[in-house]
């Protein structure tokens, strides 16, 4: 069970992050002003469906492209620039694991070659030391050294993902961005990988940004949770609080839609908000609150004004007009 | 130590065995490979196999001229009394040598340019290289080769240079499209994000995955190159007499058609055989490499 | 295990089906003596992880299995009283008319160069009834309305690329309705969709099958979806049925160690933490275990499990498990 200790000094701070893309249909605002912090040795879950912008946030953090506004601070240092312009040490500290394990491994290289790259690059190891470190790395994720001389094609999906994790761990990073690391895998393998991730996090004191659409996974894996919709953060809280008292209508809609395994589990789902509508095209963002087109509590203000961020209880923030002023705070009991 | 080395080459060997099996399951591919291997052997040992090796040089024997095929001369003799079969073998050697030389020149240049342009997509470098490539592609290859040869002296070497000049753009195009699609692969993105040097990304990550289509194209190209070289010798701008060249043998024999048909027909059929062999081999390679990624 | 001679109600009966594939390395013995049945108006779930053979089973029933490299080693399939494996024209038409599939990737199911209207009218034209253009138009609109498609007129004139994933899947379901098929085979129909859309599509499928008295087979690795959407469930592992029965019973009291492991591995909203998953991995179909295929990974493994394939053990009125460890448990022992 994840303990919910308050985060210490933040390892990552994101303030008012914005990112746009130019497409042939127009300007696509993927991230429209996002604020959050991740503490040292904390697992932070970022949840959202397609079009929410969660993957874009992860991409900016790892340096795939720079943002179009806002700041990204890593241990106080401004890192808002593409990876090519980042220091070697920074690239070592921030690592990533992607969704599709098959596409993440070069089919022409053996596992040994794949794992030695970060070790050579960041730790400057060669010869015997390199071999020892490579063996060490693969054993850290629970795979035997016999895997080292295989090609990725002969290995199963779960193990491929473990190798991607090993590759991310090899240079001894402090922060790993995981973008849907288990979504392409079956449930039983998902459990194994999640377990391994937890174990490694505890042993090595890593921080994770865990990006996913799977709320049940987040419930069991993260310290804090945040949910995004159309490029904006709807709600953030510690994971326990998030699931015990979901406030934002979108959070409630999402939770209510999850298919669960038993009647007891059904009791954990909010029942007031039914799933309606679809996410609008991000190129034509609705005015005001992005969710107003599907929100059962939509008021006039929602259509025109973007909701402010309100802190309902320590660490629990919502971005919704229902909680916009202090008089509404008392009515903020849901779920 | 020894044990470890075996362990390391094991997966490569397994992969090779699997590919071979796929390749060998297609009879035509095996045929192509067999023909090519045979041709290579014939070319290397032409001196030993040819019954009349000196006929490949300056030789005149009007007594024996225009003899039909017989046990003494498998393909008959030509207007100068030279054994056509022997000349064909040496002509084969010349054709293969030209093909290899052309590829040796054009492939590295073409691929290198394609790698650079493809990886630095949407920069001025990309535009400069690709438009330069387009320029060369605008001229038909045979014409371009002939022009180059005409600027210098006709002969084996400049014929090869001429064809190479016309040939490299196709490799640039191919490599360019391969590199651009490979650059989007996650494993390439990862190495970029983690800070691997450019040299590593291009040579270790991208190139190994681009090699198969390039290799396939090389095999298919051999046939085309030999045809072009033969065409050039046919018009007298390729390999110069008395050195034997399949193309010039065909052209020399035309004036003797149809009575002394063997003088043109055998070399022409031989060209067909060579091209067919390389094409079948190339097709086989393409099939093997295509399905490989499962 | 069900009898081949069934009551009028049985729509589909698969009996003792074994299917294998020929590949470079040898023969993959995938499906092994599978028994499977669907009644009229019944919703049946087929649960299993990747590679367990559930898609092979569906494809065999829908008769779109590529033979070769696949081969039906043995077994019978009866659909509406006829032998489904019969190659005659009559059966072929029966299959095309009365069985429809909704697949995982709606994008791949729709021809990108045809408007929805062309696609749907092609389907209508293939049915035996003659209809005028106006009648076809009406039917298409009706089908789209039934799947709660916003602005159906506009959708008819659109190309698939202009629609969202959820809308495309709705179109696929609408096409099943057009065919008025009695059996809908849904292979992971919502896996590629967002959670909120998934809920809507599943509810839609539910309503339609219940309202129109159609039968549905829902294949999924998402257990929660199967629980709410089906009357009966089959659990598959490595080409075998390991457990079958009333959905409510299976979810309330899963019996087979694999099912138990699967349930435990699914993360829950109650926040119990992450389970260890199931140790080991899928057996190779090239050289499958002689006895129970799950034995190498089973926490309750016994010597007999490696030697002999488990027979059917009836735990309850409609709950059967194929496991030696349950051999002593019958109704009343629980």
Cβ neighbours of A98 in B, within 8 Å: 186, 190
Q: Which chains pack against B, by 3+ Cβ pairs within 8 A?
A: A, C
Cβ neighbours of A239 in C, within 8 Å: 271
Longest Cα–Cα distance of chain C, Å, equals 68
Question: How far does the CA of residue A84 sit from the closest CA of chain C (Å)?
Answer: 33
The per-residue pLDDT for range B102-156, each reduced to its tens digit, is 999 999 999 999 998 988 888 888 999 999 999 988 999 888 888 888 888 888 8
Q: What is the ipTM of this complex?
A: 0.83
Q: What is the pLDDT of residue A229?
A: 93
Distance from C-alpha of C50 to C-alpha of C56, rounded to nearest angstrom: 11
A 10 A CB-CB count for C42 gives 21
Longest Cα–Cα distance of chain B, Å, equals 77
Q: Is the dihedral of CA C62, C64, C70, C74 positive or negative?
A: positive
Query: What SS3 state is found at C27?
Result: strand
Question: How far does the CA of residue A54 sit from the closest CA of chain B (Å)?
Answer: 18
A205 and B CB contact within 8 Å: no
A 10 A CB-CB count for B66 gives 17
Intervals of chain B under pLDDT 70: 1-10, 290-294
Strand C26-39 and strand C10-23: pairing?
antiparallel
Q: What is the pLDDT of residue B1?
A: 37
Q: What is the pLDDT of residue A8?
A: 60
Cβ neighbours of C24 in B, within 8 Å: 18, 21-22
Backbone conformation region of residue B88, classed left if phi is above 0, alpha if psi is from -120 to 50, else beta: alpha
Query: What SS3 state is found at A71?
Result: strand
Q: What is the pLDDT of residue B215?
A: 86
Q: What is the pLDDT of residue C276?
A: 83
Distance from C-alpha of A173 to C-alpha of A59, rounded to nearest angstrom: 17
Question: How far does the CA of residue A1 sit from the closest CA of chain C (Å)?
Answer: 5
Q: What is the pLDDT of residue A331?
A: 45
Backbone angles phi, psi at B236, to 5 degrees: 90, 10
pLDDT for residue C332 is more than 70: no
Taking residues A262-279, what's their average pLDDT? 82
- Contact residues, chain B to chain C, C-beta under 8 Å: 18, 21-22
| Best residue in C155, C269, C276 for a mutation probing chain A (most A CBs within 10 Å) | C269
Taking residues A74-84, what's their average pLDDT? 90
The per-residue pLDDT for range C162-188, each reduced to its tens digit, is 888 888 888 988 888 888 888 999 988
pLDDT > 70: what percent of chain A? 94
Question: How far does the CA of residue B171 sit from the closest CA of chain A (Å)?
Answer: 21
Q: What is the pLDDT of residue C213?
A: 85
pTM of the model: 0.82
Distance from C-alpha of C121 to C-alpha of C228, rounded to nearest angstrom: 33
C24 and B CB contact within 8 Å: yes
Distance from C-alpha of C217 to C-alpha of C46, rounded to nearest angstrom: 7
CA dihedral of C23, C29, C30, C33, whole degrees rounded to 10: 150
Q: What is the pLDDT of residue A330?
A: 44
Q: What is the pLDDT of residue A71?
A: 93
CB contact under 8 A, A108 and B293: no
The per-residue pLDDT for range C23-39, each reduced to its tens digit, is 877 889 999 999 999 99
Q: What is the pLDDT of residue B38?
A: 92
Cβ neighbours of C199 in A, within 8 Å: 256-257, 259, 275
CB B30 within 8 A of CB B283: no
Task: Report the chain B residue with the minimal C-alpha distance to residue A120.
Answer: B196
Distance from C-alpha of A248 to C-alpha of A227, rounded to nearest angstrom: 9
Nearest Cβ partner of B205 from A86, A100, A106? A106
| Best residue in A106, A131, A169, A171 for a mutation probing chain B (most B CBs within 10 Å) | A106
Backbone conformation region of residue C58, classed left if phi is above 0, alpha if psi is from -120 to 50, else beta: alpha
pLDDT band, residue A334 (cuts 50/70/90): very low
CB A302 within 8 A of CB A289: yes
pLDDT for residue C316 is more than 70: yes
The per-residue pLDDT for range A96-136, each reduced to its tens digit, is 999 888 889 998 889 999 999 999 988 888 889 999 999 99
Distance from C-alpha of B147 to C-alpha of B154, rounded to nearest angstrom: 11
Taking residues A276-280, what's their average pLDDT? 82
CB contact under 8 A, A221 and C265: no
Question: How far does the CA of residue A276 sit from the closest CA of chain C (Å)?
Answer: 7
Q: What is the pLDDT of residue A2?
A: 47
Distance from C-alpha of B255 to C-alpha of B262, rounded to nearest angstrom: 12
Question: Kind and range of the H or E element at B15?
Answer: helix B2-24
Strand A10-23 and strand A26-39: pairing?
antiparallel
Place of tokens 């490595």: C238
Q: Is C242 exposed, middle or buried (0-12, 13-18, 19+ CB in 10 A)?
A: buried
Backbone angles phi, psi at C217, to 5 degrees: -110, 120
CB B80 within 8 A of CB B234: no
CB contact under 8 A, A121 and B208: no
Positions of E strands within C145-195: 183-187
**Helix and strand counts by DSSP (H, E) for chain A:** 13, 12
Give, to the nearest 10 degrees, the angle between helix B207-234 and helix B262-291: 170
pLDDT band, residue A11 (cuts 50/70/90): very high
């Amino acid at each position: 069970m994840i303990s919910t200790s308050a985060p210490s000094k933040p390892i990552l701070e994101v303030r008012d992050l914005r990112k746009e893309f130019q497409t042939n249909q127009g300007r696509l605002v993927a991230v429209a002003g996002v604020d959050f912090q991740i503490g040292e040795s904390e697992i932070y879950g970022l949840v959202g469906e397609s079009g929410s912008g969660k993957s874009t946030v992860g991409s900016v953090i790892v340096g795939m492209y720079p943002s179009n506004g806002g700041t990204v601070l890593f241990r106080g240092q401004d890192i808002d620039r593409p990876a090519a312009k980042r220091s070697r040490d920074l690239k070592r500290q921030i690592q990533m694991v992607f969704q599709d394990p098959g596409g993440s491994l070069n089919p022409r290289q053996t596992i040994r070659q794949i794992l030695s790259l970060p070790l050579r690059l960041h730790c400057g190891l060669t010869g015997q030391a390199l071999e020892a470190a490579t063996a060490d790395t693969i054993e850290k994720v629970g795979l035997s050294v016999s895997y080292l001389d295989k090609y990725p094609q002969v290995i199963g999906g779960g193990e491929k993902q473990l190798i991607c994790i090993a590759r991310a761990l090899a240079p001894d990073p402090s922060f790993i961005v995981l973008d849907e690391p288990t979504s392409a895998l079956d449930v039983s393998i998902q459990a194994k990988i999640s377990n391994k991730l937890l174990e490694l996090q505890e042993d090595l004191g890593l921080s994770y940004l865990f990006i996913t659409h799977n709320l049940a996974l987040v419930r069991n894996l993260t310290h804090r949770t945040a949910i995004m919709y159309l490029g904006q953060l709807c709600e953030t809280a510690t994971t326990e609080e998030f699931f015990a008292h979901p406030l934002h209508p979108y959070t409630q809609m999402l939770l209510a839609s999850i298919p669960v395994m038993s009647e007891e589990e059904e009791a954990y789902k909010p029942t007031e908000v039914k799933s309606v509508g679809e996410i609008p095209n991000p190129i034509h963002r609705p005015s005001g609150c992005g969710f107003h087109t599907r929100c059962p509590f939509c008021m006039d203000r929602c259509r025109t004004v973007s909701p402010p961020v309100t802190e309902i209880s320590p660490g629990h923030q919502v971005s919704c007009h229902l909680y916009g002023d202090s008089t509404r705070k008392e009515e903020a009991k849901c779920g | 130590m020894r044990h470890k080395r075996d362990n390391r080459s094991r997966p490569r060997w397994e992969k090779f065995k699997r590919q071979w099996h796929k390749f060998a399951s297609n009879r035509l591919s095996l045929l192509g490979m067999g023909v090519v291997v045979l041709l290579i052997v014939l070319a290397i040992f032409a001196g030993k196999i040819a019954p009349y090796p000196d006929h490949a040089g300056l030789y005149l024997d009007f007594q024996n001229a225009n003899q039909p095929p017989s046990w003494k001369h498998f393909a008959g003799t030509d207007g100068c009394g030279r054994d056509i079969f022997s000349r064909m073998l040496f002509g084969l050697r010349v054709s293969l040598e030209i093909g290899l030389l052309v590829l040796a020149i054009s492939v590295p240049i073409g691929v290198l340019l394609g790698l650079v342009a493809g990886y630095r997509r949407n920069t001025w470098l990309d535009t400069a290289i690709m438009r330069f490539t387009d320029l060369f592609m605008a001229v038909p290859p045979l014409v371009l080769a002939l022009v180059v040869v005409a600027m210098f002296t006709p002969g084996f070497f400049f014929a090869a240079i001429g064809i190479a000049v016309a040939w490299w753009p196709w490799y640039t195009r191919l490599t360019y499209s391969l590199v651009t699609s490979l650059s989007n692969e996650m494993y390439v993105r990862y190495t970029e994000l983690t800070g691997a040097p450019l040299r590593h990304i291009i040579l270790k990550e991208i190139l190994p995955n681009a090699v198969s289509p390039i290799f396939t194209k090389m095999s298919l190209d051999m046939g085309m190159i030999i045809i072009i070289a033969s065409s050039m010798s046919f018009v007298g701008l390729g390999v110069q007499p008395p050195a034997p060249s399949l193309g010039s043998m065909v052209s020399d024999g035309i004036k003797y058609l149809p009575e002394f048909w063997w003088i043109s027909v055998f070399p022409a059929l031989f060209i067909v055989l060579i091209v067919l062999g390389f094409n079948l081999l190339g097709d086989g390679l393409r099939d093997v490499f295509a399905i490989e990624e499962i | 295990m069900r009898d081949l001679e069934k009551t009028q109600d049985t729509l589909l009966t698969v009996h003792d089906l074994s299917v294998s594939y020929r590949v470079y390395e040898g023969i993959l013995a995938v499906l092994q003596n599978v028994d499977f049945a669907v009644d009229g108006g019944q919703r049946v779930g087929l649960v299993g992880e990747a590679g367990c053979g559930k898609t092979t089973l569906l494809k065999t029933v829908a008769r779109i299995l590529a033979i070769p490299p696949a081969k039906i080693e043995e077994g019978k399939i009866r659909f509406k009283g006829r032998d489904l494996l019969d190659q005659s024209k009559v059966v072929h038409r029966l299959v095309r008319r009365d069985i429809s599939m909704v697949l995982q990737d709606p994008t791949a199911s729709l021809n990108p160069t045809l408007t929805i209207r062309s696609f749907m009218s092609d389907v209508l034209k293939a049915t035996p009834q003659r209809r005028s253009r106006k009648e076809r138009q009406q039917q298409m609109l009706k089908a789209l309305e039934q799947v709660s498609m916003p602005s159906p007129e506009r959708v008819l004139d659109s190309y698939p690329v202009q629609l969202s994933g959820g809308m495309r899947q709705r179109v696929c379901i609408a096409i099943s309705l057009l065919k008025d098929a009695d059996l809908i085979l849904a292979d992971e129909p919502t896996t590629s969709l967002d959670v909120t859309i998934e809920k809507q599509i599943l509810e839609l499928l539910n309503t339609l099958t219940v309202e129109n008295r159609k039968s549905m087979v829902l294949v999924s690795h998402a257990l929660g979806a199967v629980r709410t959407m089906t009357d009966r469930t089959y659990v598959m592992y490595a080409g075998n049925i390991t457990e079958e029965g009333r959905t409510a019973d299976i979810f309330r009291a899963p019996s087979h160690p694999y099912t138990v492991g699967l349930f435990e591995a699914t993360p829950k909203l109650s926040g119990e933490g992450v389970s260890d998953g199931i140790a080991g991995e899928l057996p190779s179909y090239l050289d499958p275990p002689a006895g129970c295929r799950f034995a190498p990974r089973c926490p309750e493994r016994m010597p007999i499990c490696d030697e002999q394939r488990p027979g059917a053990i009836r735990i309850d009125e409609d709950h059967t498990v194929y496991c030696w460890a349950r051999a002593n448990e019958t109704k009343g022992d629980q």
